[in-house]
Structure 1
Amino acid sequence: MTPQTLSVLPGRYAVVQLPPDAPLPPLAGAFWSLTRTADELSLVCAEAEVPPGSTAADGWVAFKLHGPFPFHLTGILASVLNPLRDVEVGIFALSTFDTDYVLVKQAQQPEATAALRAAGHTVLEA
C-alpha cells in the first residue's frame, strides 16, 4: 500500500436524496456532487445548501485524497477505506476524474483521522 495524503475540506456537508425527476438544484458552494439515476437524484453539498423538502443526512466532513490518480492504479480508495472499516467508521465515498473524496460523520472525524494516520497516511486538517 502506498501512503496517501488527504486534506480535510472546510465546512460541513449533507448527503441529500431527491426524486429522480427533480429539477437540478442551484448550487454555489466550492464542493458539491450530483448524480442522477433512474431511482433518485443524489446530492452532496454544504449543509446550508440543502434543497427544501428533500431527505438529507447532515453532519458530514470531507476528506480529499490528493490525486490525480491514473485509472490503471488499483487499491487507492481501499487503502483509505480499510482502516476506517477496521475502526467501524461509516463512510460515503465520491470519485471524480482526478481523485476520490471520503465523507465521514463529524462525530467520527477524530477516530477517522487517527485510524488513517495509524495506517501511514498523512491527514492535513483545515
Structure 2
Amino acid sequence: MDPTDFFEDGTVTVSEETYTVVKAKQADPDAFATIQDGAETTVVAEEGTVDEANVVESEGGWKRLTFEMVLPFELVGFLAAVAGALADEDISIFALSAYSTDHVLVKEDDVPAATAKLEELGCVVA
C-alpha cells in the first residue's frame, strides 16, 4: 500500500478552533485528546478551556489538520510522508493518531504553507 495513494483527493480539514498543548498534572476529560504514559500527561484542548491549576507547561497557537480518511493499520509511512513534506517547508508538527484517522497540529502562522503543501501532494483542504 502506497501512502501517497491516500493523498490524491483525500480531504484534510483545518479546525476553526485554536488549541493549546499542555503538559498537565492530570487528564482532562473535556479535552480533544489526553495522552498518558509513565512519564507525563499531555492534554490537547481548545485555547481558553484549560484549567490553569492543571498546567505544568503549555504552548498555544495550534490548529488541527485532520486527514478525513480511513487509514488502515497496514498502511506504512503515511504520517512519515506528511511529516517529511511539512518538514521540507520548515513546519513543525505535533502528531496525533486515532484508531483510523491521523491529525497533525501546526502553528497557526504555518497553516497557509501547510495547506499549500498538502494541496501540492494532491489533498483537498477544506
What interval of TM-score do these two structures reach, taking the shorter chain for normalisation?
Answer: 0.7 to 0.9
Superposition TM-score, scaled by structure 1 size: 0.85
CA RMSD of aligned residues (A): 1.5
3-state SS, counterpart of residue 52 of structure 2: coil
Distance change >3 Å, CA 71–CA 26, structure 1 → 2: closer
Paired residue type of 2:91: V
Distance in 2 (CA, whole Å) between partners of 1:26 and 1:117 is: 34
Query: Where does the alignment leave 5 or more consecutive residues of structure 1 unmatched?
Result: none
| 1:103 alignment partner, one of 102, 105, 110 | 105
What does residue 15 of structure 1 align with? 21
Deviations 1:57-76 (A, max 9, x none): 00000000012211011122
Query: Where does the alignment leave 5 or more consecutive residues of structure 2 unmatched?
Result: none
Superposition TM-score, scaled by structure 2 size: 0.85
3-state SS, counterpart of residue 110 of structure 2: helix
Paired residue type of 1:25: D
Distance in 1 (CA, whole Å) between partners of 2:77 and 2:39 is: 29
Contact 1:50–1:56 under 8 Å retained in 2: no
Distance in 1 (CA, whole Å) between partners of 2:46 and 2:75 is: 30
Distance in 2 (CA, whole Å) between partners of 1:49 and 1:39 is: 24
- Per-residue deviation at 1:38? 1.6
Moved over 3 A (4+): none
Q: Aligned residues: percent identity? A: 33
Distance in 2 (CA, whole Å) between partners of 1:26 and 1:113 is: 30
Distance in 1 (CA, whole Å) between partners of 2:105 and 2:67 is: 11
Distance in 1 (CA, whole Å) between partners of 2:46 and 2:98 is: 18
Contact 1:17–1:43 under 8 Å retained in 2: yes
Contact 1:17–1:40 under 8 Å retained in 2: yes
